[in-house]
Amino acid sequence: KPGDRLFTLRLFSEYLQNTQSELFKATKEIQLITEQHARLEGLVKTGGIPESRLIELDSQLRRQKTLIQSYQQDLLTRGLNPEQIQSVSEGTFVSTIDIVAPAVIDHTKKENEIQPVAFHSSGDKVEGLAYEVEKLNVDLGQQVQAGQLLSTLANHQLLYIEGHAFKREASNLAKAAENKWPIQCTFAEDDQIDWPTFDQTLEIRHLANSIEPTTRTFNFFIPLSNQSRAYDKDNQKFIVWRFRPGQRVRLQVPVEEIKDVLVLPSAAIVREGPEAYVFQQNGDLFNRLPVHVLHEDRLQVVLANDGSVKSGLYLAQSSAASLNRVLKAQAASGMRADVHVHADGTVHAAH
Among the ranges given (17-26, 114-123, 322-331), the one the predictor scored with the smallest mean pLDDT: 114-123
Query: How many whole angstroms separate alpha carbon 191 and alpha carbon 197?
Result: 11
Query: How many whole angstroms separate alpha carbon 68 and alpha carbon 52?
Result: 25
Confidence of residue 279 (pLDDT cuts 50, 70, 90): confident
Strand partners, 340: 348
3-state SS of 186-241 is EECCCCCCCCCCCCCCECCCEECCCCCCCCCEEEEEEEEECCEEEEEECCEEEEEE
Q: What is the pLDDT of residue 342?
A: 58
Among 47-61, 77-91, 122-136, the range of highest mean pLDDT: 77-91
Cα angle: 230, vertex 235, 132; to 5 degrees: 45
Tens digits of per-residue pLDDT, 156-196? 889 999 999 999 999 999 999 999 999 998 898 888 888 88
User: What stretches of the chain show up as alpha helix (H) in DSSP?
Assistant: 14-46, 52-77, 82-89, 170-179, 320-332
Q: What is the pLDDT of residue 303?
A: 86
Tens digits of per-residue pLDDT, 253-275? 988 888 888 888 888 888 888 88
Query: How many whole angstroms separate alpha carbon 247 and alpha carbon 226?
Result: 13
Taking alpha carbons only, the member of 329, 327, 324 closest to residue 340 is 327
What average pLDDT does the segment 18-26 reach? 91
Q: Decide if 216 contacts 166 (C-beta within 8 A).
A: yes
Query: How many whole angstroms separate alpha carbon 289 and alpha carbon 280?
Result: 7
Q: What is the pLDDT of residue 347?
A: 54
